Chain A
Amino acid sequence: IAGITQAPTSQILAAGRRMTLRCTQDMRHNAMYWYRQDLGLGLRLIHYSNTAGTTGKGEVPDGYSVSRANTDDFPLTLASAVPSQTSVYFCASSGGDGRNEQFFGPGTRLTVL
């Protein structure tokens, strides 16, 4: 089934621990994105990648890093988690090159204690 998968579905993490959220798409989309969604704040862009091998910072990048080694995968890493990173994280992708519709994964619910 074509689409975006995210793992884990949910996670409880101790503050200070390192965590990588995984995102994989099978639509051969060039562009991928990571958002966080918080009550009252909507979806905010963390990092993005317009094509494999390139990444860029979004609105709220501090405390997060990404890599894009290939077209399909776009992991998000929290090097040292803090409670303010408790959120729901969504990965999205779009075709790029003028194909702007973004398609979202099911999300990862992360709690940092």
Chain B
Amino acid sequence: GDSVTQMEGPVTLSEEAFLTINCTYTATGYPSLFWYVQYPGEGLQLLLKATKADDKGSNKGFEATYRKETTSFHLEKGSVQVSDSAVYFCALSESKLIFGTGTRLQVFP
């Protein structure tokens, strides 16, 4: 069945550092791919998405490219801020929406 694998955290960075959170997926067809973010005490909210191969999703300085050849959707940001500290979830949607285990990002000043 469909599945999502993402790197374990926590990821600890200093402010302005470069961020990469790896995500790979398994799917039978052509899913849509997402990154969701969860701030403390809140539900998840969509960060960015891509719906077909080679699409790049972007939002708030974050980017991810749908790579069908490597079945990957890695999240990147060139310069993180303290306010980016949160848990990030990679997800795919084909017949239903499923998530990876989440990666906690901690950014220190």
Bind each other: no
Chain A residues in the interface with B (C-beta under 8 A)? none
